Structure 1
Amino acid sequence: MSWTDERVELLKKLWGDGLSASQVAAELGGVTRNAVIGKVHRLGLSGRAKTTTTAPRARRTRAQTTRPPRTNAGAAPTVGANALKVDSKPQAAPQPRAEKKPETDPVVIPISKRASILTLTETTCKWPIGDPGDGDFHFCGHKSEASAPYCKYHSEIAYQPSSDRRRAKKAG
């Protein structure tokens, strides 16, 4: 696509009318938003006409835009000519999220049940316990759920309902 005189004039008109670069690109066709922005800058068309849908913003003074310093919730507001307005409502501290604990008690794994990589079978829980580099690393070894690699306790930890995962993802 080349910038013909007609396309440049149409670009100038649309830009002057307050259309965005994306809108101008759509009107011209065969040109990207970035190409429109580049041409606008090369032509020196940085001044924009105000659109009728947006009202001009009033300029704020520095005093209006600076925030007051944080104060303790129980502190009394300052009195005098330079007093800041203090919100009388105490801010609630964020509460720590309660983690969902499995419904069953933690599994106590007796030494006789601990499984090594060599003793795992299709029916033993394959939940790793400890650091694989340590000498006391082992697997749970309890009887696993049908068609699952883990026992009931470790399955509840490993497989969370999708609604819980979505909730945790939004919170984090």
Structure 2
Amino acid sequence: MSWTDERIELLKNLWDSGQSASQIAKELGEGVTRNAVIGKAHRLGLKSRPSPVKADKPEAPAAPKRVEKKEAKKLVTLLDLTDRMCKWPHGHPGDEDFHFCGKPSEPGMPYCASHCAEAYQAQPPRRDRRQPPRPIL
């Protein structure tokens, strides 16, 4: 495939008419790929266009709901967390009201005292974990 003057002129016209790089590649045919069209347009200095993929962004998720208790507290999101806050997750990450505990964490630990007690449970001594000997029959 070579870029002849006719093909370059066709590329410019199709580009200016707003056709996608894939459509232009099909129109030019003969082994021309979408990436070849984009590269040539860039080298020719043709006006760039917004990406159709980025234009179809979904709406931003709604802010987490506030907890209704005696005093309304703001839910702690990932962006709110600091090194000294409990990182115990509440809910599913895809849910609107997903948040973290946010209470002060224990020194050197990622969780507050109550969540540390839940996450880290002491193992019984090894002798207590042994199976009792089987009786001989």
Q: TM-score per shorter chain, which class?
A: 0.3 to 0.5
Which structure's CA Rg is the greater one? 1
TM normalised by structure 2 equals 0.39
TM normalised by structure 1 equals 0.32
